[in-house]
Structure 1
Amino acid sequence: MPPPHLVATGIAAREIGVARSTLARWWAQDLVKPALITAGGHARWDVDDLKRQLRERPPAE
């Protein structure tokens, strides 16, 4: 079981104000990286780190 500060994709998406599908798409496009991927292939996110990744991401063209 992950540490309590790691959350599932749906919760992380809600915390940053986007749909779960949007966060999943960003992950699939390698725009953001989860803190942990479970043995079953599910992402677990550190919301603070996710927010940092989004701040540091280069602007879209």
Structure 2
Amino acid sequence: MALVPTGVAARDLGVNATTLQRWAKAGLVKPALVTPGGHLRWDLDNLRAQLRDARLSDDD
């Protein structure tokens, strides 16, 4: 599993890094890892799945 920093994950999703950090802080998505320094690391496949699941839940 290759983990990427927030900037890379955000760029992959087409959103701003601040947006992804805000989603994580709100509990909408969960990073794969938080470093001892507080940096978020993401598994892109898992992140996309979390966002897909969140969209499906909103439609209910």
Report if TM-score (shorter chain) is over 0.5.
Answer: yes
Q: Structure 1 stretches (4+) deviating beyond 2 angstroms?
A: none
Cα distance, 1:59 vs. partner?
A: 1.6
Which residue number corresponds to residue 38 of structure 2?
A: 41
Q: 1:32 aligns with which of 5, 29, 34?
A: 29
Which residue number corresponds to residue 9 of structure 2?
A: 12
Structure with more of its chain in helix, by fraction? 2
Q: CA RMSD in A?
A: 1.4
Distance 2:6 2:26 in 1: 15
Structure 1: any 5+ residue segments left out of the alignment? none
TM-score of the pair, normalised by structure 2: 0.88
Count of paired positions: 57
TM-score of the pair, normalised by structure 1: 0.87
Identity across aligned pairs (percent)? 54
Distance 1:44 1:50 in 2: 10
Distance 1:47 1:16 in 2: 9
Structure 2: any 5+ residue segments left out of the alignment? none
SS of 2:27 mapped into structure 1: coil
